Structure 1
């Protein structure tokens, strides 16, 4: 039994330079505009048998705008950042530089009083592993970039530090195929070769 799970990164709610931990802001105008531009490429995913999203306003709005009618999944919520919720990384660093350094260096640490990176990755991975396993089933999940990074680290069985090296852009898609405990990253983009005169 193999599944195909395509993650769609939620459209932005703010400038990427102002990304905040556990950002609960709705889509801004630029985010809505991005969804409209990306819709022709992404609406076909609405044919997926199961359609999910993170509980954030921007994930729900992105899924609804694309016609997915997604079911909210609490397991796809962002990492619990405790007292750093709503801060940018720079703001947390200005207030608690040693705590931020410890958090970035040790995936088991919780200096913010929330969830460790390791626990976050395990939670998202457990969600992935418990999807209904109909052979050939297709699933789409609109989620925050952090959730998608956690899913990829889990699926690839990569070291937790790999999380910091994965860049997930708004409205990008990432697909994993397989079943519980055995996932593969899949690239579906068409290759076009340009010629020069």
Structure 2
């Protein structure tokens, strides 16, 4: 047996084009409505032995709306974007085009003065590897899509640039099974097993 960790992507708090680095805005009304509609399908997740969330207001509120009452985990915070915090990608590009290009091209660079992509993936993977629990325990983590993308890069031992090719939609679920250093991505069956198979 192994641990089973199901990540739930936080509901959206703003339109996609308005997303900002380290965005700490709360859920808007549309996000609340989406989370409440999803709660019925995701209700079985609240039965997990351990329930966590990213420290963002969206993640905490999504976890509460799903009935999880999650414990905030600082290690599941979004990537530290340094002086770009609060900017959109377009705003950062307008101010520092060379720095944005370097950041996108080199996963070890942190021209914004914050955290590199490699450091971010390593931090999230370290959180995953240190989860307590017994064989067969179920864990739920409500997190920002960026955090789930970092976890998937870690689990798959994929090149860091793979991060840019992963699309994690709001309120989607992703399950990994295993133990420290030996994780597997698990694909569930149809819609009916989406939440019940945690």
Q: Normalising TM by the smaller chain, what interval?
A: over 0.9
Q: Which residue of 2 aligns with 1:74?
A: 74
Matched residue SS, 1:139: strand
- Shift >3 Å, 4+ stretches: none
Output one character per residue of 1:101-140: Cα deviation in whole Å (capped at 9) or x when no partner: 0000001101000000000000000000000141001000
The structural deviation recorded for 1:50 is: 0.1
Matched residue SS, 2:109: coil
> Is the 2:76–2:143 Cα contact (8 Å) retained in structure 1?
yes
Q: Which residue of 2 aligns with 1:178?
A: 178
Structure 2: runs of 5 or more not aligned: 193-198
TM-score with structure 1 setting the length: 0.95
- Separation of aligned partners in 2, 1:62 and 1:108: 31
- 1:135-174 pair list within 5 angstroms: 135-174=135-174
Q: Which residue of 2 aligns with 1:188?
A: 188
The structural deviation recorded for 1:51 is: 0.1
- Separation of aligned partners in 1, 2:103 and 2:41: 37
The structural deviation recorded for 1:37 is: 1.3
> Is the 1:60–1:70 Cα contact (8 Å) retained in structure 2?
yes
> Is the 1:2–1:133 Cα contact (8 Å) retained in structure 2?
no
Q: Which residue of 1 aligns with 2:131?
A: 131
The structural deviation recorded for 1:98 is: 0.3
- Separation of aligned partners in 2, 1:77 and 1:128: 13
What is the root-mean-square deviation of aligned Cα atoms in Å? Answer: 1.1
Q: Which residue of 1 aligns with 2:17?
A: 17
> Is the 2:75–2:127 Cα contact (8 Å) retained in structure 1?
yes
> Is the 2:26–2:57 Cα contact (8 Å) retained in structure 1?
yes
With over 3 angstroms needed to count, the CA separation of the structure-2 counterparts of 1:112 and 1:47, relative to structure 1, is same
With over 3 angstroms needed to count, the CA separation of the structure-2 counterparts of 1:172 and 1:20, relative to structure 1, is same
Matched residue SS, 1:55: coil
